[in-house]
A = this chain, B = another copy of it.
Amino acid sequence: MRYLKDLTEGSRVGDIYLIKQRTSAITKNGKNYLNVILQDKTGTIDAKVWEPNSAGIDDFDEKDYVEIVGDVSSYNGALQVSVKRARKAHEGEYDPKDYLPVSEKNIDTMYSELLEIIDRTTNTYLKKLLQTFFVEDEKFIARFKFSSAAKMVHHAFVGGLLEHTLSVTKNCVFFAVQYPKLDRDLLVTAAICHDIGKTAELSPFPENDYTDDGNLLGHIVMGTQMVDEKIRTIEGFPPVLATELKHCILAHHGEYEFGSPKKPALIEAVALNFADDLDAKMETFTELLNKIQDPNQWQGFNRLLDSNIRGTRLE
């Protein structure tokens, strides 16, 4: 397919795109038309449907995949598509991954790495718990692999939750070697489960926005509850261990003001908070530097990093 970022003024477009936004409007002459935003994984473009109810123009909704035929012109310095024909595409005609931001890493490879780490867990109860989620629960696995780790800030793409989780977990595997006081199994299990609540806090792509439950309860409490439910299905799961694991998840934001109802009280909870926060900051910084043309220039104030930043020059 021809990606939106490759369109040029004066060319003709004829491909399937995702409808990101669709609103009705009225021209000065009183005629109805549609403002539409087309999306693929390379970006978005404005489009106008000047004759909404004419032949060749199917009715369609936001989040539909629609085959668009039209002309590309320039308006106020930005490209714009005049839509001539619009047809709702059927599932199978398109690959959603062409239309959504997606991890640059291979999702299945990352998942295998995660399973290997799970495999090296020696505590039988924790291993069983991880398997119940990540080996046995098909629906959870599909959702987990497809989720982002955030609406906007960082890892806001398909596979983002997996990529973030794997990276946090690897940090924890290293920490457990470096600091022997840490219990490797508890820490790694907490790392793998720390954000699973995000599969329910955020709606699936292409929406990827806070759900009602997400807004009212939050992924920290939701994830803790998901872990709690699975634990109940595992006979003999030690109750203190269960509480300690749930504590690590509740406390992983590290501070009350970041939404953790408890401050880290166990050494593993402290370590998990670092592993998570480090990965968020590194990824935010990396995404920022990847996005810009001249990383040597100062990038202005970044809210998450709470500083004006620039790429390193080493000269």
Contacts and interface: CB of A to CB of B under 8 A. Distances in A.
Interface of A: 25-26, 28, 74, 77, 123, 167, 170-171, 174-175, 178-179, 181-183, 186, 210, 212-213, 215-218, 220-221, 224-225, 228, 238-241, 243-244, 246-247, 250, 256-268, 270-271, 274, 277-278, 281-282, 285-286, 289, 298, 305-315
A76 to B, nearest CB: 8
B123 A266 contact: no
A262 B123 contact: no
B247 A289 contact: no
A257 B175 CA distance: 27
A314 B240 contact: yes
B265 A215 contact: yes
16 contacts: A167-B178, A174-B174, A179-B282, A181-B286, A181-B289, A182-B282, A217-B247, A225-B228, A256-B256, A256-B259, A259-B261, A261-B261, A263-B305, A265-B309, A270-B281, A271-B278
Contact of A178 (B170, B183, B265): B170
Contacts of A218: 250, 261-262
A238 B171 contact: no
For chain A, what secondary structure do more than half of its interface residues adopt (helix, strand, loop), or is it mixed?
helix
B238 A314 contact: yes
A262 B181 contact: no
B243 A212 contact: yes
Nearest to A170: B178
Contacts of A182: 282
A243 B210 CA distance: 14
Contact of A263 (B179, B282, B307): B307
A294 to B, nearest CB: 13
A296 B155 CA distance: 29
A309 B247 CA distance: 12
Given A183-B312, A216-B266, A266-B310, 4 more contacts: A174-B178, A221-B250, A256-B259, A267-B289
Contacts of A306: 263
A218 to B, nearest CB: 6
Contacts of A175: 278, 282
Contact of A310 (B77, B215, B239, B307): B215
